Amino acid sequence: MTAVIITQSQRSIDEAKAWDDVSSMMSQLVSSSTAKVDTLKREFRHGSDLIDGFGKEKESLHKEAEEITSSINAKIEHETNALQHESEELADQIRAVQALEEDVERETKLAAEIVEKRREVEQNILTYKAEAAEEVGAIDEIEMRRAKQIPRIRREFSMYAQMTNIKWDYSHVDALAGEVSLPHKFIHRRFSIEKDLPEFEIAEQIWSIIEG
Asked if the structure places residue 64 within a domain, the reply is no
Residue 48 belongs to a domain: no
Angle at CA of residue 100, ends 96 and 106, nearest 5°: 145
**Residue 101 falls inside a structural domain:** yes
- Does 174 map to a domain? yes
Q: pTM of this prediction?
A: 0.33
Lowest mean pLDDT among 104-108, 126-130, 152-156: 152-156
Residue 88 lies in a domain: yes
- Note whether 130 and 90 are same-domain residues: yes
Range of the domain at 170: 165-212
With the C-alpha atoms ordered 166, 169, 173, 174, is the resulting torsion angle positive or negative? Answer: negative
In terms of DSSP bridges, do strands 187-194 and 175-182 run parallel, antiparallel, or are they unpaired? antiparallel
Residue-wise pLDDT for 64-94, tens only, equals 778 888 888 888 888 888 888 888 888 888 8
Asked if residue 188 and residue 170 are part of one domain, the reply reads yes
Verify that 123 and 195 share a domain, yes or no: no
Same domain, 159 and 122: yes
Question: 8-50: per-residue pLDDT in tens?
Answer: 566 666 666 666 666 666 666 666 666 666 776 777 677 677 7
Q: Looking at the 3D structure of the chain, how many domains does it have?
A: 2
